[in-house]
Amino acid sequence: MRNIYLVAAREYAENAKTKGFWIGVFLFPIIIIASIFIQGALERATPTRNFVFLDRSGDFEQHLEDGLQRLHDRDVMKAFGKYVREHSSMGGEAGFSADMLESIPAPDTRELLESIGDGGASLMPAGGIDAALMQIEPFLDDEAPEFEEPRRRFRRVELPGDVPADADLADVARGLKPYLRGKDKFDFEGDSIDLFAAILIPADISEKVQRPGLGAVMSAISGGPPQGIQYWSANLADEELRNEVRNLVNGEVRRREYVTEGMDVDKVQRIEKTRVPFASLNPKKEEGEEAVSLADVIRQWAPVGFVYLLWVAIFTISQMLLNNTIEEKSNRIIEVLLSSVTPNELMLGKLFGIAAVGLTMIGAWIGSGIGVLATRSGPEAEFATQLFAVLRHSGLLPAFVVYFILGYLMYAGIFLAIGGVCNTLKEAQNMMGPVMLILIVPLFTMMFIPKDPNGTLATVMSWIPLYTPFVMMNRAAADPPMFEIVGTFVLLLVSTLLVLWLTGKIFRVGILRTGQAPKLLELVRWVRS
Amino acid sequence: MSETVLELSSVTKRYDDFTAVDDLSVSIPRGSIYGLLGPNGAGKTTTIRMILGIIQPTSGTISVFGEPSALNVRERIGYLPEEKGLYKKMKASAIIAYFASLKGMDRKSAKKRAYELLERYGLKDFADKKTEALSKGMGQKVQVLASIAHDPELVILDEPFSGLDPVNQEVMEEVIRDMAARERTVLFSTHVMQHAERICDRIMLVARGKKAFDGTIAEAKDTLPRRVRIETEDSIEPLRNVPGVVSVLRVDPESPGSHWDIELGESVRAQDILRFCFEHDISLRQFDQSDPTLHDVFVSIVGEDAREASFR
């Protein structure tokens, strides 16, 4: 026992000292933090897009300008909401509380934020952002910075000087091409600017309107020169402006159709916004509390996170185990060790020591992940709270620990046996190929299984001991039948013990062997001896 | 020289159709320095591994401190394997302490002992260096220290001198003598005869897994016939008739020269030959009656086997 502990303690101490371990510990939280910040940074980094807009029909100009203004207002209000949340007593660790909201006079930022979805005209509070700022003033923190209006995402610019505005649309497009390709810049309001897009609307646009029926299909599949609105841009990835323009123009076209058909436009728009409340209910919950909450969703998907953690942890630490077994083998430290401890003590010491390393790493990940979420304000904080609650009250954490230990021991056993028979890392990598292929499967099935947690695929895979830890963890939230939980657990336990027993045998013979890796037949003989 | 520390009786190790160690019996008394000599591939390392219980003999028994397996008494044994290696990322002191603690020392005193040893053998400055920073020789010294850190009663060293420079070879001999002076038993293998000759009380010669000789150095030398070597231009024919002289042979039979080996029987002493030469007016340029070295013994006993083994 003492020797197992000593070996384990050394493995732990040495592995915990490696760079790989610390990179592993920190990388995960850093990725989480980075992914939160990068999103914001990317938004800020996108430059204002300049576009030219040439409407020969003259029907849509005003409409488009209004639409883009609304888009900008929406951005401003979003930023304002964030500003309020971060710099005033109205926003706190956990966002708005109900009585706080009641005590605050209009404008209620939450209501403002909610009205965004309407796409209606009343986006800006009366008096614009300045009025809102004045009202929020008394609640601001002392050191709150000035509110900065976000940059416009799109800016309409005049045609460059060398492109005649009254020319044929095809000529205009031809003239704009060097600018659109990014080869040339041109001056606008004193700046030398890039042209992001050009939107050209022909004069006969109203004749190009397509209505349901055969004609639409015919013209859609016939090639020929572009008809209708032309959206020119070299950037195919950023579709925001294109979608915005298309929606605006289509919306306006439809409005006109209503008018032509003699319908009340206001009425139609009102009708389009009607809806029936739709509630997701969970039959497993107590009566009166069936509504599906955030916690339920988390509970459903948290196992996926755990499966991933399990996978990464098993993968990483099995590698460690393999590497240092081969180190000991290749420089023959193993002999000194074996004159002091039995092969079984050595094997168990390694297994436990490295398992402890893995648990430390996972613990750090879970801890820092939750920690990072908890220190964020707003929706992330709420998510973290819910996550805590789910972890506390569901059986996920104990299940994770059990499956981690058994799954790890099984794979570690396999890797250790490989380490035992190979002398170099290269040799080991050859033998690891098949194991890797087996190990990769749960990664693929991880996302499917929650959708059909008690389906055939999930059930069958649960009974394959190599996959039991992953798949059963995957299914944990769906309450699989007790028979399967117990049955697969027993099977997993038995096969893990079997693997460890076999590994012990192979390890004992293999670790002192030098030269070529043994043939399969030889391995069988080792096990028998 | 009373108590037996280690006893092998009829120990045999077979791998498939290859017999690595064949019916080996030996007993090693407490406090002795015992050399295990033999050519490459003679089965020295296999024998040592069996003694340590790392591998099991196919047949025969091993008794260490009266126990059937060395693992039962592993804290009383120290071991330096043939191929030397250390954990590259560990500090020298930590390695010594780790191995000592595996041998039953508590971790605190193991640590203290590690620093003591490193200081005593001139590695104080490297105590807190990772072993990958050490030279090969220094690393080997660290490993030797690791094998004796728990002050074992029986130390088994497999090729302790290989890879060491002459100065450190002397240090190694000193370490071995120190151990023996404190009634520790040292068993070491080597194929460098000079070391064995200088420090061993007893040696065992193995060749192709079999014991070829077992006894003291003096006994080993006695296995070779006594001979004197002379250099003379005169005829040596009269010497052939001296009673007790077994043979007179040219040292180098290929080319006629003036060096002769005279093999002496039981009844004749070297000075008898010298007197005979004076009396018969055989003028000598050289008269050499030095004892055979262990090297000569080795070559004469296992020379053929060694040569064969190397071509097998």
If asked whether residues B118 and B9 sit together in one domain, one would say no
Q: Which of A336, A341, A511, A519 should we substitute to test contact with B (largest number of B Cβ atoms within 10 Å)?
A: A336
Tell me the residue ranges of DSSP E strands in B232-301: 245-250, 259-264, 286-288
If asked whether residues A326 and A190 sit together in one domain, one would say no
If asked whether residues A356 and A492 sit together in one domain, one would say yes
- Per-residue pLDDT band at B307 (split at 50, 70, 90): low
Report pLDDT for B258: 79
Decide: residue A155, CB within 10 A, 0-12 exposed, 13-18 middle, 19+ buried. middle
Give the domain range for residue A255: 47-212+223-268
Q: Could you tell me the CATH number of the domain that includes residue B241? A: 3.30.70
Q: Which of B52, B54, B82 should we substitute to test contact with A (largest number of A Cβ atoms within 10 Å)?
A: B54
Structural domain contains residue A41: no
* Average pLDDT estimate for A106-117: 39
Q: Which of B49, B55, B102 should we substitute to test contact with A (largest number of A Cβ atoms within 10 Å)?
A: B102
Q: Which of B132, B150, B168 is the last residue of a domain?
A: B150
Q: How far is A28 from chain B (nearest CA, A)?
A: 25
CA closest to A345 among chain B residues: B102
Is A341 an 8 Å CB contact of chain B? yes
With a cut of 80, say whether residue B6 has pLDDT above it: yes
If asked whether residues B43 and B135 sit together in one domain, one would say no
Is B184 an 8 Å CB contact of chain A? no
CB–CB of A337 and B102 under 8 A? yes
Give the number of other Cβ atoms within 10 Å of residue A191's Cβ.
11
Structural domain contains residue A278: no
Instruction: State how far the alpha carbon of A248 is from the alpha carbons of A253, A255, A511, in Å.
Output: 9, 11, 73
Structural domain contains residue B75: no
- Per-residue pLDDT band at B259 (split at 50, 70, 90): confident
Is B98 an 8 Å CB contact of chain A? yes
CB–CB of B74 and A336 under 8 A? no
Instruction: Give the tokens for residue B138.
Output: 């220094």
If asked whether residues A134 and A257 sit together in one domain, one would say yes
* A172-186, A292-306, B92-106, B216-230: which is most confident: B92-106
> Is it true that the peptide bond before A107 is cis, omega within 30 degrees of 0?
yes
Q: Could you tell me the CATH number of the domain that includes residue B19? A: 3.40.50.300
If asked whether residues B136 and B282 sit together in one domain, one would say no
pLDDT in tens, A440-449: 888 888 877 8
Is A436 an 8 Å CB contact of chain B? no
CB–CB of B89 and A6 under 8 A? no
Is A335 an 8 Å CB contact of chain B? yes
A240's CB contacts (< 8 A; 6+ apart) are A153
If asked whether residues A397 and A317 sit together in one domain, one would say yes
In this structure, is the dihedral angle defined by the CA atoms of residues A166, A169, A175 and A179, taken in order, positive or negative? positive
Report pLDDT for A111: 41
Report chain A's mean pLDDT, rounded to a whole number. 77
Structural domain contains residue B95: yes
Rounded to a whole number of angstroms, the distance between the first and last alpha carbons of chain A is 25
Report chain B's mean pLDDT, rounded to a whole number. 84
If asked whether residues B98 and B247 sit together in one domain, one would say no
Helices (H), B79-200: 92-102, 107-120, 136-148, 166-181, 193-199
If asked whether residues B145 and B275 sit together in one domain, one would say no
Is A529 an 8 Å CB contact of chain B? no
* % of chain A at pLDDT higher than 70: 81
Structural domain contains residue A17: yes
* Average pLDDT estimate for B122-135: 85
Report pLDDT for A491: 93
CB–CB of B52 and A338 under 8 A? yes
Nearest to A340 among B49, B80, B102 (CB): B102
Report pLDDT for A374: 67
CA-CA-CA-CA torsion for B8, B13, B19, B22, nearest 10 degrees? 10
With a cut of 90, say whether residue A494 has pLDDT above it: yes
Report pLDDT for A157: 86
* % of chain B at pLDDT higher than 70: 95
Structural domain contains residue A39: no
Structural domain contains residue B79: no
Report pLDDT for B151: 87
Closest CA to B296 of B190, B247, B223, B188: B223
Decide: residue B52, CB within 10 A, 0-12 exposed, 13-18 middle, 19+ buried. buried
Q: Which of B150, B168, B202 is the last residue of a domain?
A: B150
With a cut of 60, say whether residue A160 has pLDDT above it: yes
* A147-161, A186-200, A506-520, B166-180: which is most confident: B166-180
Is A320 an 8 Å CB contact of chain B? no
If asked whether residues A340 and A479 sit together in one domain, one would say yes
Structural domain contains residue A341: yes
Q: How many domains does chain A have?
A: 2
Q: How far is CA B168 from the centre of its chain?
A: 17
If asked whether residues B307 and B217 sit together in one domain, one would say yes
If asked whether residues B218 and B299 sit together in one domain, one would say yes
CB–CB of A512 and B87 under 8 A? no
Report pLDDT for B305: 60
Q: How far is A3 from chain B (nearest CA, A)?
A: 6
Report pLDDT for A290: 65
Answer for the pair B141, B123: CB distance below 8 angstroms, yes or no: yes
pLDDT in tens, B41-61: 788 888 988 888 878 888 999
CB–CB of A341 and B84 under 8 A? no
If asked whether residues B26 and B169 sit together in one domain, one would say yes
Report pLDDT for A143: 74
- Per-residue pLDDT band at B312 (split at 50, 70, 90): very low
Q: How many domains does chain B have?
A: 3
DSSP-derived secondary structure letter, A152: P
With a cut of 70, say whether residue A249 has pLDDT above it: yes
Structural domain contains residue B281: yes
Decide: residue A125, CB within 10 A, 0-12 exposed, 13-18 middle, 19+ buried. buried
A36's CB contacts (< 8 A; 6+ apart) are A372, A376, A380
* Average pLDDT estimate for A293-298: 70
Structural domain contains residue B283: yes
pLDDT in tens, A384-440: 677 777 777 777 778 888 888 888 888 888 888 888 888 777 888 888 888 888 888
With a cut of 90, say whether residue A495 has pLDDT above it: yes
CA closest to A13 among chain B residues: B90
Is A351 an 8 Å CB contact of chain B? no
Top pLDDT among A297 and A183 is at: A183
Answer for the pair B292, B263: CB distance below 8 angstroms, yes or no: no
Q: How far is A339 from chain B (nearest CA, A)?
A: 6
If asked whether residues B57 and B193 sit together in one domain, one would say yes
Q: How far is A501 from chain B (nearest CA, A)?
A: 19
Q: What is the 3-state secondary structure (H, E, C) of A202-254?
A: CCCHHHCCCCCCHHHHHHHHCCCCCCCCEEEECCCCCCHHHHHHHHHHHHHHH
Structural domain contains residue B74: no
Instruction: State how far the alpha carbon of A262 is from the alpha carbons of A59, A82, A259, in Å.
Output: 19, 44, 5
A19's CB contacts (< 8 A; 6+ apart) are none
If asked whether residues A493 and A523 sit together in one domain, one would say yes
CA–CA separation, A518 vs A335, rounded Å? 19
pLDDT in tens, B202-243: 889 888 888 888 888 888 888 888 888 888 888 878 888 888
Top pLDDT among A92 and A500 is at: A500
If asked whether residues A305 and A196 sit together in one domain, one would say no
Q: Directed axis angle between helix A482-510 and helix A343-375, to 10°?
A: 130
CA–CA separation, B173 vs B166, rounded Å? 11
With a cut of 70, say whether residue A216 has pLDDT above it: no
- Per-residue pLDDT band at A223 (split at 50, 70, 90): low
Report pLDDT for B112: 92
Nearest to B54 among A7, A327, A338 (CB): A338
Is B133 an 8 Å CB contact of chain A? no
Answer for the pair B87, A333: CB distance below 8 angstroms, yes or no: yes
If asked whether residues B284 and B299 sit together in one domain, one would say no
Report pLDDT for B192: 81
Residues 485-514 of A with CB under 8 A from B: 512
Structural domain contains residue A507: yes
Report pLDDT for B97: 92
Nearest to B102 among A3, A328, A335 (CB): A3
Q: How far is A338 from chain B (nearest CA, A)?
A: 6
If asked whether residues A344 and A478 sit together in one domain, one would say yes
If asked whether residues B97 and B143 sit together in one domain, one would say yes
Nearest to A6 among B71, B84, B101 (CB): B101
CB-CB neighbors (< 8 A) of B102 in chain A? 3, 6-7, 337, 340-341
Give the domain range for residue B97: 84-150
* Average pLDDT estimate for A442-468: 84
CB-CB neighbors (< 8 A) of A341 in chain B? 102
If asked whether residues B98 and B111 sit together in one domain, one would say yes
Strands A49-55 and A197-201: parallel
Strands A191-193 and A197-201: unpaired
Report pLDDT for A289: 65
Report pLDDT for A377: 57
Q: Which of B121, B150, B179 is the last residue of a domain?
A: B150
CA-CA-CA-CA torsion for A225, A228, A233, A236, nearest 10 degrees? -90
Q: Half-sphere exposure of A7 toward its Cβ, with a 13 Å CA cutoff?
A: 28
* Average pLDDT estimate for B133-162: 87
What is the complex's ipTM, to 2 decimals?
Answer: 0.75
A150's CB contacts (< 8 A; 6+ apart) are A75, A76, A78, A79
CB-CB neighbors (< 8 A) of B101 in chain A? 6
Structural domain contains residue B38: yes
Closest CA to A371 of A34, A37, A25, A32: A32
CB–CB of A339 and B101 under 8 A? no
Nearest to B86 among A333, A335, A342 (CB): A333
If asked whether residues A83 and A227 sit together in one domain, one would say yes
Answer for the pair A373, A381: CB distance below 8 angstroms, yes or no: yes
If asked whether residues A60 and A149 sit together in one domain, one would say yes
Answer for the pair A422, A323: CB distance below 8 angstroms, yes or no: no
With a cut of 60, say whether residue A98 has pLDDT above it: no
pLDDT in tens, A304-337: 888 888 888 888 777 888 888 888 887 778 888 8
Give the number of other Cβ atoms within 10 Å of residue A53's Cβ.
20
Structural domain contains residue B255: yes
Strands B77-80 and B154-158: parallel
Q: Which of B90, B98, B99, B155 should we substitute to test contact with A (largest number of A Cβ atoms within 10 Å)?
A: B98
Instruction: Give the tokens for residue A137.
Output: 């003033």
If asked whether residues A29 and A51 sit together in one domain, one would say no
- Per-residue pLDDT band at B135 (split at 50, 70, 90): confident
DSSP-derived secondary structure letter, A319: H
CB–CB of A332 and B84 under 8 A? yes
Structural domain contains residue A282: no
If asked whether residues A469 and A513 sit together in one domain, one would say yes
